[in-house]
Structures are given as structure tokens and as C-alpha cells.
């Protein structure tokens, strides 16, 4: 008997039982009015998280000690693998990633039970029961369909090792953030479902869902940014987002969650969009489950997906149940989901927020439709037709520009309505700046309409954001006498959500400029070069010197072959780059590329080689990618803004004053 496998499998089974107990105890406690049963249900979810933690700790230990009798360990690890890469191996295979997903979800739900459930007596029992059902659904798959603790019939002397594409330090951060972000959509889903079951669809559930939605938005955003960075630095195709079906599945939940964060402001201020907000949080979780199904079903081809297995159909059924339950709850409570007010004016901030959420949902539908188009084309025409980046760029591009326009205009519009003179005064400056930016960049040679529109709107977003900060800081200076830096910094403590959100908008604008410019103005060259020969691209000269070879001897890497390339510009040496290919001992037919990068604030020099012949003639591919650095800078601004908006706001301390001597107490 394998002790580690037995302990891990037992922990998963016990966690499954504990999650079912949480459901039963919560339902019974609510119906019978037994507080002790409700408390037992909450504690059962905490126990589930502890058991899931024990299970993942057991698997991590099996990887560290090279216990190849465990099938998952033998399939993703090897003796020469560095310890930190064994952490990446934990979630690289299908059973391990499912365990990591379920463990992360159990931690989120344990935190939710400890922090939020005591504050929602109107729906605590419903929330705990929903958490238990969701956790049990994933634990069932872990226990009976894709256990990471299955024992190999024959214990090999060594494991196979990681998939070559995953042997990269980026795997230590990208998958954990992305999986955790997808899992985090479950908490707003639970709150929305609890509000519907309890019939409390007013602002109460929104207040508690806001922080969890912000956290989900932040972690999902970081996960997708890290995914773009990993694709750019590892996959070796010159880009960072290829509209791969699994990439699409990862970003899909982010759109409705972002829409919810905008639409909830309208419900808080005006009592509108009750139905819409619930649809958004339910859809975000359904799309996260869809991503789980998509990765594990073999439905679409992707470098990121696992092989087809019996887990895929199970998650298809689970996805159907999530959608059916969501639609059923919405239909049941539809009579109480009417808005408390109507729009007073189309030229209002609430109109901008509503349009913003509609555009984000439109992007969601386009990306989802394009991802599933091959499936439907095969179903109805018996021919699998795949849509690629040109389709997504041409359809999502205009929607992105419309989104930037709503961010720019919505920031300056007032709530409810405003006089025409006020609107003209607020919009005059941004309109002049927009036209001036278009004229300036057109004069500098920018002719692409997408690029012009994006750069102009990004400039307007920056302008209106700075103006909002200036107006707020000026008011604080008048009230407190503080200097400009202190007054500006104090804005974040006074209204973190608002000013953190403004930073996120600036980050999105910077990212949009980097994406559009790097896509439209990318320069490429693909040539075969013998040692000593050169190629010119983007004003640079790339001279191939020689081939180099090295043997790292770790992580299954057998050899690395590198091409030494000297880069010059106007006769001055810029640097030496070494693109290459990496070969693996257990995967001889799966070499991977080694990307060579030289980056600056204005451009990236991006090189990789496809191969070489016996005369050391290499096939070199060169990309000149403009403004890529600003993609990561915009991402950093996005993350900082998200952290500011999410960070718990300090509550003013209460001071107890002593009553004057002789005063009577009430």
C-alpha cells in the first residue's frame, strides 16, 4: 500500500463528505431554525479547506521525494527536476490542476464563510449550502474521475518530466494566478445565488459582493497579463495573445466581472440593473466552468489544453446544471427584480456605466462565439472551420475603441442629468484634445484608423483622469491647507474605489495603445543565414556569427543550441542576442524555442530560430515590436489601481469622550 497516495485520496474523499455535510446541515438548520446546525455547516466548509490543503500538501511532498509510484508524479516530474519546478509540475497535469483548482476554491470559500457569512444573516444558510454544492461537484471529479493519487501498476525508476513548453520560470506564477482568478468568480456567484434564494435582491448583496468581485477582477487580470507575458517570452511566435481557444476561455470571465463592477454602481446609486447585475455574476462563474470544460474536453485544439478524458463530459453536465440553476433562479425571482427608478437622461454617468457593461458583454459574446465556431461549423456543416486572429482583431477592435470612448466620456458625465451648458463645459476640453491628438499623429505619419482612434482616446482618458485628480486635490487643499502632493495622496484614503478605478482606466488605455500599435506597426523578417551573413529590419542590422551548444542537465533538458547574433544600428553595436532551440531527453520530438529579446521603452527586438542545417545555416526570424514595454507598464498601472480599489479602507477610530464633571448621563 502506498501511504502517501492513501492519505491523499482519503483526504479528498473526506473533504467530499464534509462538503456534503455542509449542504445538509445548512439546509436543515435554515428550515428547522437550528443555529447549531448552521454553525456546523460553516465549520464543515472550514474542515473541507483544511482537508484540501492536506491533500495538496501530500501531492507536493510526493513530488519532492520523487515518489514515482504515484501516477501523476511519474507523468509530470523527474529526478533531475529543480525543486521549484516541481511546484509547477503539481498543477501541470490534469489531475494536479484540478486539485489546485479545488484547493483554491476551498480556501476562498473558507475565507468567505469566516469573513462575510456572519454579516449576511438574511442569506448565510443559502450561501453556505451553495458553497457546499459547488465544492462537492469538483471534489467528486477529483475523487472518482481524475484522482491525482492513482497508483502506477509498475513503479518506474524515473519520471517522464514536465511538458517541454512548461519548463519555464513563468509557470511558477502564471497558472496559479490564472486558476485562482477563475476560481474566485465562485464567491460573487454564491452571493448572487443566495440573494435570489433568500429574495434579498436589493443593495445588501451588492455591498458584500463588491470586494469579492474586485478581488476576482484583480487576480484574473494579473493571471491574464502573466499569460500574455509567458506567451511572448516562451512560445516564440512574436506575439503575446494569439486568440487561442484556451486563452479565450481564461479571459472570458473577466469581461462580465468587469461589467458587474461598473453596473453595481448604478444599482447602489439608483436602484437599477438588479436583474442585469445578477446575470453578470452568474455568467462569470458559468464561463469559468466553461473554461474548465474546454481545457479538459478536447473540444478545441490548443497548446494549453489537456487530452480528452471522461472528465470533459462531466464538466459539460456541470456547466449545464450551473446555467439551468441560474436561469431558474432568475425566472423565479423576476417579479422582484424590477428597477426602483428610470434613467433621467441619456447624458448621465449611469448611462455611460450601462453602455460600458453592454460593450463588455458584447466582447464576451464575440470571443465566446469565435471560440466555439469550429464546433458549430462541424456540427451543422460537417466541416471544422477555425476562426483566427484576423476575425477577432477586426470584430473586437471596434468594440475596444467603443469601450475606450465610454471610459473617456463616462468619467466626465454627472449622475442623473446636467444642464447643456455644464455638459458643453465638461466635454469641450476632451474634444479639443482628441482632435489635436489625431492631427498631431496623422502629421507624424500615423495613418491606420484603429491606431489613431486608440491613441486619441487614450490621451483623452489620461486628461480627464488627471483633471478628476486635480479637482479632488484642489478641494482638499482648500479644506485642509495641505500641499498638492499630500492632497493628491489623501484622495486615495477618502475614496479608494473611485480613484483606484481611475488608475485602472489609465492602465487599460496604456495597454490598448501598446496592443494596437504593436499589432499594426510590427515589422518582421524571415531569412536563412550562413555564419557571417546579415539581414536588415527596422533600421537594425542582425549579423549571425555562429552556433553555440550547452547542456544544462536539469529539468529534463538534454541540450540547448543557440545562434549568436550581433545587432548594430548605424554602425554602432546595440548588443548580442542568442535565440535558440531546447531539446529534451524524454521528448525528443518536442524541441522548444528560446526567445532572445532586447527591449526598450520604444521597441523590442525579438529573435528566434526555426532550425539549421549541417552547414550551420540557420533560419532566423526577426520581429521589431513597437511599444511592447508599455503593455507591461500599463499592466502594472492596472494592477496598482486594482489593489488600491480593493484594499480595505481604514475606518476612523472611535474616541470615547469623558463627560464633564457634574453632567448627567442619558
3-state secondary structure of 547: strand
What pLDDT shows up at residue 481?
Answer: 81
**Could you give the CA distance from residue 266 to residue 349 in angstroms, rounded to a whole number?**
9
**Could you give the CA distance from residue 545 to residue 22 in angstroms, rounded to a whole number?**
66
Instruction: Look at the block and give the residue holding cell 536539469.
Output: 554
What lies within 8 Å, CB to CB, of 285 at 6+ separation is 185, 186, 188, 189, 253, 322
3-state secondary structure of 273: coil
Dihedral pair phi/psi, residue 267, rounded to 5°: -70, -40
Pairing relationship of beta strands 557-569 and 572-577 according to DSSP bridges: antiparallel
**Could you give the CA distance from residue 609 to residue 541 in angstroms, rounded to a whole number?**
16
What pLDDT shows up at residue 653?
Answer: 47
Cα torsion angle, 177, 41, 17, 191, sign = negative
What pLDDT shows up at residue 650?
Answer: 60
Kindly give the residue spans of alpha helices, DSSP state H, lying in 271-334.
274-297, 311-332
Of the candidate CATH numbers 1.20.950, 3.30.70, 1.20.120, 1.10.287, the domain formed by 1-167 belongs to: 1.20.120
What lies within 8 Å, CB to CB, of 274 at 6+ separation is 201, 202, 267, 337, 338, 339
**Could you give the CA distance from residue 649 to residue 81 in angstroms, rounded to a whole number?**
44
- Other CB atoms within a 10 A radius of the CB of residue 443 amount to 8
Q: Are 48 and 135 in contact (CB under 8 A)?
A: yes
What pLDDT shows up at residue 491?
Answer: 87
What pLDDT shows up at residue 656?
Answer: 46
Provide the 8-state DSSP code for 602.
Answer: S
**Could you give the CA distance from residue 349 to residue 100 in angstroms, rounded to a whole number?**
41
Instruction: Look at the block and give the residue holding cell 500538501.
Output: 57
Identify which of 95, 99, 89, 76 has the alpha carbon closest to the alpha carbon of residue 150.
Answer: 95
For the chain, the residue count is 666
Instruction: Look at the block and give the residue holding cell 458584447.
Output: 362
pLDDT per residue as tens digits for the range 115-162: 999 999 999 999 999 999 999 999 999 999 989 999 988 899 999 988
Distances (CA, A) of 1 to 69, 152, 158, 159, 367: 10, 12, 20, 20, 48
HSE, side-chain direction, 13 A CA sphere, residue 426: 20
- The torsion defined by the Cα of 128, 44, 310 and 73, in degrees rounded to 10, comes to 130
The β-bridge partners of 536 are: 541
**Could you give the CA distance from residue 32 to residue 20 in angstroms, rounded to a whole number?**
18
Listed as ranges, residues in the chain with pLDDT below 50 are 303-307, 653-666
- Other CB atoms within a 10 A radius of the CB of residue 365 amount to 11
pLDDT per residue as tens digits for the range 466-486: 999 998 888 888 888 888 888
N- to C-terminal Cα separation, the chain? 72
- Other CB atoms within a 10 A radius of the CB of residue 438 amount to 18
What pLDDT shows up at residue 629?
Answer: 96
Distances (CA, A) of 584 to 121, 231, 563, 592, 595: 57, 20, 18, 9, 17
What pLDDT shows up at residue 297?
Answer: 56
Q: Are 453 and 434 in contact (CB under 8 A)?
A: no
What are the sequence ranges of the domains in the chain? Answer: 1-167, 173-337+348-404, 405-518, 523-628
**Could you give the CA distance from residue 262 to residue 282 in angstroms, rounded to a whole number?**
16
Dihedral pair phi/psi, residue 253, rounded to 5°: -65, -20
E strands, 357-486, where?
none
Burial (CB count within 10 angstroms: exposed 0-12, middle 13-18, buried 19+), residue 46 = middle
DSSP 335-376: GG---S---S-SSSHHHHHHHHHHHHHHHHHHHHHHHHHHHH
C-alpha gyration radius of the chain: 28
- The torsion defined by the Cα of 436, 441, 446 and 447, in degrees rounded to 10, comes to 10
**Could you give the CA distance from residue 185 to residue 538 in angstroms, rounded to a whole number?**
44
3-state secondary structure of 555: coil
3-state secondary structure of 284: helix
Dihedral pair phi/psi, residue 613, rounded to 5°: -110, -170
What pLDDT shows up at residue 301?
Answer: 52
**Could you give the CA distance from residue 366 to residue 391 in angstroms, rounded to a whole number?**
10
Q: Are 184 and 219 in contact (CB under 8 A)?
A: yes
Burial (CB count within 10 angstroms: exposed 0-12, middle 13-18, buried 19+), residue 531 = middle
Amino acid at each position: 500500500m502506498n501511504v502517501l497516495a492513501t492519505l491523499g485520496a482519503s483526504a479528498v474523499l473526506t473533504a467530499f463528505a464534509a462538503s456534503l455535510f455542509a449542504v445538509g446541515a445548512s439546509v436543515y438548520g435554515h428550515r428547522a431554525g437550528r443555529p447549531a446546525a448552521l454553525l456546523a455547516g460553516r465549520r464543515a466548509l472550514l474542515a473541507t479547506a483544511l482537508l484540501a490543503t492536506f491533500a495538496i500538501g501530500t501531492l507536493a511532498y510526493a513530488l519532492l521525494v520523487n515518489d514515482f509510484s504515484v501516477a501523476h508524479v511519474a507523468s509530470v516530474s523527474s529526478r533531475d527536476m529543480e525543486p521549484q519546478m516541481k511546484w509547477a509540475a503539481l498543477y501541470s497535469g490534469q489531475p494536479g490542476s484540478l486539485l489546485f483548482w479545488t484547493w483554491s476554491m476551498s480556501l476562498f470559500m473558507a475565507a468567505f464563510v469566516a469573513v462575510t457569512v456572519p454579516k449576511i444573516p438574511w442569506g448565510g444558510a443559502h450561501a453556505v449550502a451553495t458553497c457546499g454544492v459547488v465544492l462537492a461537484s469538483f471534489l467528486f471529479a477529483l475523487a472518482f474521475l481524475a484522482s491525482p493519487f492513482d497508483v502506477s501498476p509498475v513503479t518506474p525508476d524515473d519520471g517522464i518530466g514536465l511538458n517541454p513548453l512548461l519548463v519555464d520560470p513563468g509557470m511558477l506564477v502564471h497558472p496559479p494566478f490564472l486558476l485562482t482568478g477563475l476560481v474566485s468568480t465562485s464567491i460573487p456567484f454564491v452571493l448572487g445565488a443566495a440573494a435570489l434564494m433568500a429574495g434579498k435582491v436589493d443593495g445588501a448583496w451588492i455591498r458584500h459582493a463588491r470586494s469579492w468581485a474586485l478581488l476576482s477582477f484583480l487576480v484574473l487580470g494579473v493571471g491574464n497579463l502573466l499569460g500574455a507575458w509567458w506567451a511572448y517570452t516562451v512560445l516564440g511566435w512574436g506575439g503575446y495573445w494569439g486568440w487561442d481557444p484556451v486563452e479565450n476561455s481564461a479571459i472570458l470571465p473577466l469581461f462580465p466581472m468587469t461589467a458587474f463592477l461598473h453596473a453595481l454602481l448604478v444599482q447602489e446609486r439608483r436602484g437599477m440593473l438588479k436583474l442585469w447585475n445578477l446575470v453578470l455574476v452568474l455568467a462569470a462563474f458559468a464561463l469559468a466552468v466553461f473554461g474548465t470544460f474546454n481545457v479538459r474536453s478536447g473540444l478545441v485544439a490548443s497548446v494549453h489544453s489537456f487530452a480528452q478524458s471522461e472528465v470533459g463530459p462531466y464538466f459539460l453536465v456541470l456547466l449545464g446544471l450551473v446555467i439551468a440553476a441560474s436561469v431558474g433562479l432568475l425566472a423565479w425571482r423576476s417579479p422582484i427584480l424590477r428597477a426602483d427608478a428610470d434613467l433621467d437622461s441619456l447624458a448621465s454617468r449611469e448611462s455611460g456605466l450601462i453602455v460600458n457593461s453592454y460593450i463588455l458583454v458584447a466582447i464576451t459574446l464575440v470571443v465566446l462565439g469565435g471560440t466555439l465556431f469550429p464546433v458549430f461549423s462541424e456540427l451543422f456543416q460537417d466541416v471544422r472551420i477555425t476562426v483566427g486572429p484576423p476575425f477577432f482583431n477586426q470584430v473586437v477592435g471596434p468594440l475596444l475603441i467603443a469601450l475606450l470612448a465610454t471610459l473617456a466620456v463616462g468619467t466626465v458625465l454627472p449622475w442623473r442629468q446636467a444642464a447643456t451648458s455644464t455638459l458643453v463645459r465638461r466635454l469641450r476640453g476632451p474634444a479639443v484634445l482628441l482632435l489635436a491628438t489625431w492631427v498631431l499623429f496623422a502629421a507624424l505619419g500615423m495613418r491606420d484608423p484603429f491606431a489613431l482612434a486608440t491613441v486619441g482616446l487614450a490621451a483623452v482618458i489620461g486628461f480627464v483622469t488627471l483633471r478628476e485628480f486635480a479637482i479632488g486635490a484642489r478641494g482638499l487643499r482648500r479644506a485642509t491647507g495641505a500641499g498638492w502632493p499630500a492632497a493628491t495622496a489623501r484622495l486615495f484614503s477618502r475614496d479608494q474605489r473611485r480613484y483606484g478605478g481611475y488608475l485602472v482606466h489609465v492602465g487599460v488605455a496604456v495597454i490598448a495603445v501598446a496592443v494596437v500599435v504593436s499589432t499594426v506597426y510590427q515589422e518582421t523578417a524571415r531569412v536563412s543565414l550562413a555564419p557571417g551573413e546579415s539581414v536588415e529590419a527596422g533600421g537594425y542590422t542582425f549579423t549571425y556569427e555562429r552556433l553555440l551548444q550547452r547542456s544544462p542537465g536539469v529539468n529534463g533538458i538534454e541540450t540547448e543550441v543557440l545562434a549568436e547574433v550581433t545587432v548594430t544600428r548605424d554602425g554602432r553595436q546595440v548588443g548580442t542576442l542568442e535565440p535558440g532551440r531546447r531539446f529534451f531527453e524524454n521528448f525528443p520530438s518536442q524541441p522548444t524555442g528560446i526567445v532572445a529579446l532586447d527591449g526598450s521603452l520604444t521597441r523590442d527586438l525579438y529573435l528566434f530560430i526555426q532550425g539549421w542545417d549541417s552547414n550551420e545555416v540557420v533560419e532566423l526570424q526577426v520581429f521589431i515590436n513597437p511599444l511592447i514595454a508599455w503593455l507591461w507598464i500599463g499592466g502594472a498601472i492596472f494592477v496598482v489601481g486594482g489593489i488600491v480599489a480593493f484594499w480595505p479602507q481604514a475606518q476612523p477610530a472611535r474616541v470615547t469622550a469623558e463627560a464633564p464633571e457634574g453632567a448627567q448621563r442619558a
